[in-house]
Amino acid sequence: MRTKTLLLAAALSAAGLATSLAQSNVYSLNVVGYINATLPTNGTYLLTAPLDLDGTGLNNTLDTVLGTNYTTTLPNNPHVYGWTGSSWGYNVQLLSTGWSGPTSAVNTNSMRPGQAFFFQNKSGSPVTITMVGNVLQKCFSLPLVTGVNAVGSPVPQEGKVETDLQFSIPSNTGTSASHVYRNVNGFSGATGVGYANFLKSGTTWVPSEPILKVGEGFIINSPVGTPAFTRCFTVQ
C-alpha cells in the first residue's frame, strides 16, 4: 500500500508484532526504529520529530529526540530554536555539559511529533541527525493557530503535504491565500535564503504541491486560519 512505500526513508523494526499474550487473544503491535537527516554545512534547518518516546505523543524532550547524537555526530555548540506559537522565542545551545537555555519550553512547544523546530549547524561540515522512537499508531489532533504554524508529519512518512501527509491547507485566494515554506531541496540552504515558498491559491499550488522528506519540518502561513491537523495512522 502507498503508506508502506512512503516509510522507506525510515529504518523501522517491528517489536512484538502479533505476539500473543498468555491465554488471551490480545496482540501487541509496537513499531520502533530510527531516521537519519543529513544537514549540509553552516545553515539553519527546519526539522520535526516523526518518532515518539513512549507512544503517547506527549513526552518527547530534547534529550530523547537529539540525545543519541551527543557523543557522535553533533557539531560544536549547535542551537535549537523552538516555536512559541508566534515566534522562534526559545533558543537552547548544546554545551559539553548538556543543553543550556529554556529546555522545558522547547520540550513543550517543539519536540512533540507534528511540531517543528530549527536546528542550526554552525560547523564547517555536514552533520547527520539521528532520531529514535516509536511510530505513533492512533488518531491524534494537533491544534493550529491563525497565521503562522511550525509543523511537520507526526509519523515517518514522505510525500506531498496534502495528498499524502493529509494536512488540510485552506483554499483561499488573493491576500488570504496560504503559503507553505520548506527547506530548499529538503535540507539545504542558510537562514534567510534557504527556504522555498509554495502558494496555494484556491485549489491550485504554485509552483507545485510541496513534497516533504521524512523528518522535515515546514511552516504554514494562513491569514484566515488553519484547521486543526487530525491524522489516523496504522502500519499494516
With a CB cutoff of 8 Å and minimum separation 6, the contacts of 215 are 35, 37, 47, 48, 49, 50, 129, 131, 152, 156
pLDDT digits over 17-33, tens only? 332 233 344 444 678 88
* Mean pLDDT within 214-234: 85
Cα–Cα distance, 130 to 36 (Å, whole number): 5
pLDDT digits over 189-214, tens only? 444 446 889 999 999 999 999 999 99
pLDDT digits over 136-155, tens only? 887 878 878 888 889 999 99
Peptide bond into 207 cis (omega under 30): yes
Indicate the pTM of the whole model: 0.82
Amino acid 68: pLDDT: 62
**Helix-strand-coil split of the chain, %, nearest 5:** 10, 40, 50
Amino acid 139: pLDDT: 82
Of all residues in the chain, the percent with pLDDT exceeding 70 is 80
Q: Tell me which residue of 101, 82, 104 sits closest to 150, measured CA to CA.
A: 82
161: confidence class by pLDDT, cuts 50, 70, 90: very high
Q: Residues 158, 162, 167, 169: is their CA dihedral positive or negative?
A: positive
